[in-house]
Chains A and B, each alone.
Chain A
Amino acid sequence: MIDTALLHGFLFAAVACAALVLVLRHPMHVALAVVAAMLALAGVYAMVGAHAVAIFQVLIYVGAVMVFMVYVIMLLDVRDESLARRFSQWLLPATVAGTVLLACLGAGLWAGYAPFVAGEPVGLQAFAAALLNDYWLHFELVSILLVAAVVAALAVIGAGRRPRA
């Protein structure tokens, strides 16, 4: 009973904070709304038994990605044209298209209604064993992707400096 109420509360908070992202003006407020949505989603993961995912959600998304984003917002001057006029000229078509997309996907979900059966909780120990026994190749490929991302970021920064030198 209380589990269901908590799950519904977290889900509602996640969707509400995501909707706030669309309307808030200042990028810092948007970042805080995204952080709140991610924390609510971490609560949802914990409630449905995906404990490892809940931990990673808080550690990686909130702790690393969004803190990085907040640093960048503090670093840059955000008081420009996009602060005064926050919506582009695509506001109306995009809203209509988004509503249609939501209706289509929602109708598809409604047609394929299936009862949810909570599975076995996935803890960190089982996840770590599976990752390093069965999925070690994916793990290594991911590390190559991260190295490539770092090299690409350095290349982008280098490309920005070259004209000045």
Chain B
Amino acid sequence: MHDLPLLAWAGVAIFTIGLVGVVVRRNVLVMLMCMELMLNAVNLLLVAFGQRAAAMEATVLVFLVFVVAAAEVAIAIPIVMLLVRRGRSMDAGSYSELRG
């Protein structure tokens, strides 16, 4: 009924959008949300390919990706708030202390 290439195409497109978004956007929160988009694209690909062969294993893997995403946000948000408190800016370009 459905065709796998369409699902895989959408997954690849969303992943690429997230990757480009992390690089081109300046706001650190928007960069974080682009990372979430990339995780979502991985989930979509897992579900799409898992429906062909091993649905249960794919579902468990997707569950693990959910937890990783939650842990990522739990750590990344305090880091962002710390950065904003110190530098008074959400612009990733204004943090260049590590530049040699």
Contact = CB atoms under 8 A, between A and B. Distances in A.
Contacts, number: 256
B30 A30 contact: yes
B100 interface: no
B55 A156 contact: no
Given A21-B21, A130-B60, A146-B70, A81 B91 contact: yes
Contacts of A53: 43, 47, 59, 62-63
Interface in A43-72: 44-45, 47-50, 52-53, 56-57, 60-61, 64-66, 68-69, 72
Interface string B70-95: 11111101111110111011111110
Most buried by A among B44, B52, B82: B44
A124 B85 CA distance: 42
Contacts of A118: 1-2, 51
Interface in B46-71: 47-48, 50-53, 55-56, 58-60, 62-64, 66-71
Given A21-B17, A34-B36, 10 more contacts: A11-B7, A50-B62, A53-B59, A56-B66, A82-B90, A82-B93, A86-B30, A97-B20, A149-B75, A156-B79
